[in-house]
Structure 1
Amino acid sequence: MKNRYNSEESVTTLIDLSLELEGLVRNVGTHAGGVLIAPSKISDFCPIYKGPNESDGVVSQFDMKDVEAMGLVKFDFLGLSNLTVIDKTVKLIFAKGLSDELIDLDALSLDDKGVYELLQRCDTTGIFQLESDGMRGYLKKLQADSFEDIVAMLALYRPGPLGAGMVDDYINVKHGTQKVKYPHPMLEEILKPTNGVFLYQEQVMKSAQVMAGYSLGGADLLRRAMGKKIAAEMDAQRDVFVKGAAEREIDVKKANEIFDLIDKFSGYGFNKSHSVAYAYISYQTAWLKAHYPAAFMASVLSGMMDDTDRIAFTVKEVQAMGLTVDGPSVNESYHEFSIRDEKIITYGLGAIKGVGEALVEVLVAEREANGDYQDLFDFCSRIERRSLNKRAVEALIYSGALDGFGVNRASLIRTYPSAMKQAEQRQNDQSSGQSGLFANEQVHNEYEVHYLPASSFSFRETLQFEKSVMGYYFYNHPTDEYNADLKHISATLPSALVFRNNKEARVLALISELRYRSTRSGAQMALINVEDSTTLLNAVVFSKVLGSVSEALVADTVVVLSGKINKDYRDEWQLVVDKVEGVDAVKEKYARSFEISLNHKHQTLFEPLSALLKQNPGQCPVKFRYQVNNAQGSVITRDYFVKPDQQLIDAVDALLGDHVSQINYV
């Protein structure tokens, strides 16, 4: 390398540049919540620079260890979205008069029955630190009945304690299925609150004082050594601990065993005051949810306005709680989710794609100043043209926010361009000082209300448009289209979960998410999320089944899945799939007849109907039901055998009129 350095210019340049770069900071980062405090100017103690973003302010060029070595105090200020949820909840409660008394969240009783009932049934969506699937699983086992249980769970639910099996030990001792074991009788009083396990730094400090004669200052040095996780410092502390224990006639071997526990604890040590502070926020959110569920869940939903997946999941949770979520409305909604009363949440307009906060502010201000919007034309004329664009109007229509005008969405879509044009002309006239012939009449009469006629969107079109602006299916669900037809063939997810315990189930569901994963042997398996209008369920298709069902596994498709419902490794219910069938295939397989209702008005349409039936050949016989005056009769003909699917139903209904055809299964 030396020869190349001396003989090759490119190598010389490369190494010289590398030597100049060596030791330099590769890139800088700013601690989002780190604040330095000094007795005088920060620049007296460390170099500073201006951050690249306006919000960065002045930043230290030293990292956290260097500023500590300089003697500066560093504080970490963490922002918690749950504090915003708490604040919004309290404001909603008083805005709607749901409480006559001042709610002092800093003076709550810690033995509220409603809080612990909520935690025991794992109804923890929106509860600070307690809403993950894993945490719910442990809460179900724990059946918390004291604030100390919450504090302990927050300290236990971390990699170290989980890996050491401490969570299960704590729970088993609590329920009496495991006998508590103390490392030494002197530690019983200290470890009794945590069922015999070292859980908090304060316990270690107190143990060092009791067993080894540490002073308060010495115990704090032990705490710091554990926090730094520096082996040399811990070895030095071991010597101090063992020596002090020997002075209290504790066997050297036992003293080392106990210090081994302390050393192991240093890998996951948690400050109890930290856990208590977090647990109290958990308790506050649980208390609000237990006593003011609508206000609390509305605030939780407002905190996830840009995450439609979380909104979709949370709305289902809200409905499972027995609450109602009303759709968005230009005459009821605000930017965020709000409440109508203690049982009804109103959808936030800001959660609709394409509807910005600036528009909602204008919309709400105008509504509060001059009353509800009467119709599409009134709405367009009262909103400033610069605030209202084509995309926003379409989003409001597709989301149902204009349904209150009593006009179907297809007609609103056809009509809104002319409504906006009228509104623009009127606003231009007003800005130029012109007025119409009827200038003295009320505003509502200054424009012509004329909706262009249009047939309502089909069920599937409505769903498609709704999902495009809301991000998920809110009013209806794709499975709703098939529930009536397939109720004798397949179960809904809620009813299937009632009869679980490894029993066979056949369910109608939408594949909302589909993922493939390789097993250890290299084979492929599928992990899928399925749902209907009320329930979400995880499902798995193992490799031995995947090959036979892969064609039917298509995301965003309604299917019929067969298999067994049991618990997965997280103790959550899942469907182990052994068969997947397309809805149309199931309908054709189990259909007894395709029924068409006819009357005298259809006489001239029989030829095109005959042609239509022949264009859709299948195995299902056709049943004609006739009604003339008060007489009626039916016949199953052998002249036609069709494929009974939704496309044929739609085609027949389009030819003869709505709701004249159906598929019979029994």
Structure 2
Amino acid sequence: NLGVIVGPGRGSAAGSVVAYCLGITNIDPLKYELLFERFLNPDRISLPDIDVDFDNEGRAKVLDYVQKKYGADHVAQITTFGTMAAKLSIKDVARVLELPLNTANRLAKLVPNKPGITLKKAFEESPELKTELEKGEPLVQKVLLLAQKLEGSIRNTGTHACGVIIGPDDISNYVPLADIKDSDMMATQFEGKLIESVGMIKMDFLGLKNLSIIKDACEIIKSNRNIDINPDEIPLDDKKTFELYQKGMTLGTFQFESEGMSQHLKNLKPDKFEDLIAMNALYRPGPMQYIPKFINRKHGIEEITYEIPVMSKYLSETYGITVYQEQVMLLSQALAGFTPGEADKLRKAMGKKKKDVMQELKEKFITGCLNNKLDKNKIEKIWQDWEKFAEYAFNKSHSTCYAYIAFQTAYLKANYPAEYMSSLLTHNLNDISTLTRYIDECHKMGLKVLGPNINESNLNFAVNKKNEIIFGLAGIKNVGSTAAAEIIKEREENGPFSSPLDFLIRLNQKNINRRCVESLIKSGALDCFGNIHRAQYFFPIDNNGNTIIDRLIKLTAKIKENRISSQNSLFGEEINEEICMPEMPECEQWSNIERQNYEKEMIGFYISGHPLDSYKTTIKTFANTQISELSNLENLKGKEICLAGIITEAANKTSKTGKAYSEFSIEDQSGNYNFKLFGKDYVSFSDFCKSNLYVMIKATVTEKLWNKDSDNELMIKIKRIELLEDFLQKFAKNISLKINYEDISNKLVNELEQIFKQSKGTTPVMIDIIDPLEEISISLKCKKYKADIDKLLSNIDSSEIKDLIYDYNISKKEF
């Protein structure tokens, strides 16, 4: 009723058939053998709770609804306490005692990187840290002693991301409350684990972005195709969806979009929903090692075996591999006669690695199995496997629920690709790196992603009548949702805009001001008016530097003034002359780079193409690293890297010690990175520190030679920088065009010669005559012509013989 989409379930509550029948969850626990005992059993002491996923935007509506339904004084969020961990306590104490920052960082780095490690444990595991405590400088010793005393104390408070409590009456009767900054809700002063002790139940209201993506995609489908899609009624045997999974085309889908998962899905070729549930559980550190075995058993490459025949009933869906905690619970009941409560106790003991409880249950398990006349050696083997399994056991209820949401996203991507990708782009608009990846995915799917258009765009990304994705007006800088909404409303009520003047006359200039108009033009939103190009709007039309924008704004104001005063008829000669669209000035169009840079300035990324597209042959041939990969230098340690990009910001600076250095940011389609040049590097490469330079950088990733106390131990050592503009001419030895001997003809030779004449340059050309079947080739050097490689490939691509060029290869000089 609120227009909020609710997830199919989450965690152990999905095992409750009552919750399913009431519509609280949407996964049939009987069909997927989800166990109620995980949710509630006689041995459970704590009260069960049902965690619920809502779409991101809808979560606030639900909180508001709960306040109105039960009363604002009956509802509160939950406080969280941030405590001083080992490293943080060292840094905090060091700051107060004025220990130098580099020394504080060095001490903190001596603490092993293990979750939850204490300083007491760190002193045991790190001899260097222990030495500092016992024999270090007095101030260092004092810092470490005080840090140990302060460790674990509360440092700050926050609000739980999803926890909510609802009381039978005023919550202040049960727990003390506190105000939440920028919210009309209150928060408890007790943290979550204490809430239950005062008789309250913590409920988790979670906001899930993927549910918002599904919801908006369904709304776009309804608007475009007049088809109602209910995500909860999507068929789980949809052929197109499984084809998408089998091809590994999962980028942008929930839970399954990583490259590693995509590759595993290509090998697995899932053909049933249960395969996806299992992969969702297996693709994590630990159980990931069993994925090849899982795939081989599915395809009959490896035999499926069971220690005891009855185990096939519970393990057949995962091809004999124990994947879920629920399988252990069911097997312990079937083999040893455990009660449901004992089975859940075993599950908890495994999950929390409680050795004493495990030992107690092991004896009970073996006794129960022997009573059922099962082989002792096999029983011992099963228990040993379970002990290993405890390290990676996963909750099947949760895996099933999230595989269901994943399937919903994959179904929409497979069956309604434009609408789904449109919604996906809208919900990732603020993450440029991710957005760029998704736009690239659209191109791979054959979907066009167009810039904004005042006659077609909605507020956010939308799909036009040609099934193309189009950028939303609200995302344009200096436009905003109010102006965008007014443009859309006017267009829907009175039809598309026929000219720039018509556009301005029909809208309120308070909202659509000059700055807004300029941004719309620069973004390309006014490209819909015939042969007018963007540069014409900004070209001076008089000696005062006025542009056509100035003339249009003045003309619009005059026409509106006349209409209001009714002093002149709109059909009078004078007014009619002024209403005519002014003649646009003649001028050169912006270059591709100018146009693309304005687009990026206005909408945050390049949409009609990327400036580096002009150098794609160079980048494909020489670059081996994308800039996004620099975020994890550990993977590149010891390697030589080549990357290409645009220098977007650059400055020459002076350090506190008076030494000159340079700083610049470089960007490619995947992201950006900041470099600093000191000493010899500054002398060698500071000339390249200029904005809008297109460069290729050769570097190595090595351990830092200085400032080793900083958090990052690795550095990028630049060895060479070259401009992309003439890079191919400098570093390409030759280009070889491969031609199948069967395709050789006089027409091909003549056409090729014409292309060579149009593509003259400095790079030698080779012709490789090949027989692909026999794997034989003859290489011939073209003595008459040398080529500009970019021109050559471009001319071939636009020629009639492009399909006869089997392939090409560029030999490289050392860079």
Aligned to 2:277: 151
Could you tell me which residue of structure 1 aligns to residue 369 of structure 2?
245
TM-score between both structures, scaled by the size of structure 1: 0.69
Q: CA deviation at 1:527?
A: 6.6
Q: 2:436·2:669 contact (CA, 8 Å) conserved in 1? A: no
Q: 2:320 aligns with which of 196, 200, 211?
A: 196
Q: Please give the residue correspondences for 1:355-504 in structure 2 after superposition, counting only pairs within 5 Å.
A: 355-406=479-530, 407-413=532-538, 414-424=547-557, 434-435=565-566, 437-439=568-570, 447=579, 449-450=581-582, 451-479=584-612, 481=614, 490=617
Q: 1:158 to 1:530 in 2, by over 3 A?
A: farther
1:224 to 348, 353, 358: 348
Shift of 1:511: 6.8
Matches within 5 A, 1:567-606: 582-587=724-729
Aligned to 2:70: none
Q: Deviations over 1:7-52 (max 9, x none)?
A: xxxx9xx9xx999999863322322222234555544544333323
Rounded to whole Å, the distance in 2 between the matches of 1:216 and 1:511 is: 53
Contact conserved, 2:453 with 2:524, CA < 8 A, in 1? Answer: yes
State yes or no: 1:136 paired with 2:262: yes
Q: In the superposition, relative to structure 1, how do residues 160 and 61 fare at CA in structure 2: closer, same or farther (>3 Å)?
A: farther
Offset at residue 104 of structure 1 (A): 3.9
Residue 376 to residue 62, structure 1, CA distance change in 2 (3 Å): same
2:29 is aligned to: none
Q: Supply the distance in 1 between the matched residues of 2:670 and 2:148 (Cα, whole angstroms).
A: 58
Question: Which has the higher mean CA deviation after the structures are superposed, 220-229 or 293-302?
Answer: 220-229
What letter matches 2:726 in structure 1?
Answer: D
Partner of residue 81, structure 1:
209
Query: AA paired with 2:331?
Result: S
1:203 Cα shift?
Answer: 0.7
Structure 1 pair 19–517 and aligned structure 2 pair: CA distance change class (3 A): closer
1:19-168 correspondence runs (5 A): 25-54=154-183, 57-97=185-225, 99=227, 102-162=228-288, 165-168=289-292
TM-score (norm 2): 0.57
The one-letter amino acid paired with 1:180 is I
The equivalences for 1:531-570 within 5 A come to none
Alignment of 1:495-534 (within 5 A): 506=621, 515=630, 523=638, 525-526=640-641, 528=643
Secondary structure of 1:404's match?
coil
Instruction: State the distance in 2 between where 1:200 and 1:556 align.
Output: 54
CA distance in 2, matches of 1:308, 1:220: 45
How far has the Cα of 1:409 moved from its partner? 0.6
Is the Cα–Cα contact under 8 Å of residues 587 and 645 in structure 1 kept in the other structure? no
* Higher RCO, Cα 8 Å, sep 6+: 2
Kept in 1, the 8 Å contact 2:627–2:670? The answer is no
Cα distance in 2 for residues equivalent to 1:39 and 1:221: 32
Describe the SS at the equivalent of 1:203. helix
Q: Which residue of structure 2 lines up, in the alignment, with residue 180 of structure 1?
A: 304
Secondary structure of the 1:159 match is: coil
TM-superposed deviation, 1:195: 1.8
Counterparts of 2:356 and 2:168, CA distance in 1 = 33
More moved, 298-307 vs 28-37: 28-37
Corresponding residue SS for 2:630: strand
Query: What one-letter code is carried by the residue in structure 2 that aligns with 1:474?
Result: I
Aligned to 1:596: none
Change in Cα spacing, 1:513 to 1:332, as seen in structure 2 (3 Å) is same
Deviates more, 1:228-237 or 1:267-276: 228-237
In structure 1, what is the equivalent of residue 453 of structure 2? 329
Query: Amino acid of the residue matched to residue 581 of structure 2?
Result: V
**One-letter amino acid of the counterpart of residue 193, structure 2:** K
Checking the alignment, whether the CA contact within 8 Å between 1:584 and 1:645 is kept in structure 2 is no
Task: Give the CA deviation at 1:237.
Answer: 3.2
CA distance in 2, matches of 1:518, 1:126: 25
Residue equivalent to 1:567: none
One-letter amino acid of the counterpart of residue 582, structure 1: L
CA shift, 1:143, in A, is 1.2
Residue identity in the other structure for 2:508: E
Q: CA 1:270/1:620 → structure 2, altered by over 3 Å: closer, same or farther?
A: closer
Larger deviation, residues 372-381 vs 356-365: 372-381
State the SS of the aligned residue for 2:165. strand
- SS of 2:164's partner is strand
1:293 deviates by: 1.4
Letter in 2 for 1:31: H
Give the letter for the 1:464 counterpart: N
Instruction: Note if contact 1:199-1:269 (Cα within 8 Å) is conserved in structure 2.
Output: yes
Q: Which amino acid is 1:327 matched to?
A: G
Partner in structure 2 of residue 304 of structure 1: 428
Give the equivalent residue in structure 2 for 1:629: none
When residues 182 and 428 of structure 1 are mapped into structure 2, their CA distance, relative to the original with a 3 A threshold, is farther
Amino acid in the other structure paired with 1:473: Y
Supply the distance in 1 between the matched residues of 2:473 and 2:636 (Cα, whole angstroms): 49
Gaps of at least 5 residues in structure 2 are 1-138, 539-546, 647-667, 672-680, 699-719, 735-760, 764-787, 792-815
Count of matched residue positions in the alignment of Structure 1 and Structure 2: 533
Whether the 8 Å contact between 1:376 and 1:412 is mirrored in structure 2 is no
Higher mean displacement: 178-187 or 119-128: 178-187
Q: Is the contact between residue 34 and residue 77 of structure 1 (CA under 8 Å) also seen in structure 2? A: yes
Residues 230, 127 of structure 1: alpha-carbon distance in 2 compared, 3 angstrom cutoff: same
Percent identity over the alignment?
35
Amino acid paired to 2:162:
G
Q: 1:42 to 1:364 in 2, by over 3 A?
A: same
Residue 192 of structure 1 and its aligned partner are, at CA, apart by 1.7
Structure-2 change in CA distance of 1:472 and 1:362 (3 Å): same
Question: Could you tell me how far apart the structure 2 residues matched to 1:228 and 1:71 are?
Answer: 26
Deviations 1:340-390 (CA, angstroms, capped at 9, x unpaired): 237322222233333312221111112222322232233233332332344
Q: Is the 2:600–2:606 Cα contact (8 Å) retained in structure 1?
A: yes
The verdict on how the C-alpha distance between 1:36 and 1:232 changes in structure 2, with shifts beyond 3 A counting, is farther
Equivalent pair of 1:410/1:457 in contact (CA under 8 Å): yes
Q: Which amino acid aligns with 1:90?
A: C
Q: Quick check: 2:452–2:525 contact (8 Å CA) kept in 1?
A: yes
Work out the CA distance in 1 between the residues paired with 2:348 and 2:513: 60
Contact persistence 1:355–1:395 (CA under 8 A): yes
Pairwise CA distance, 1:441: 7.2
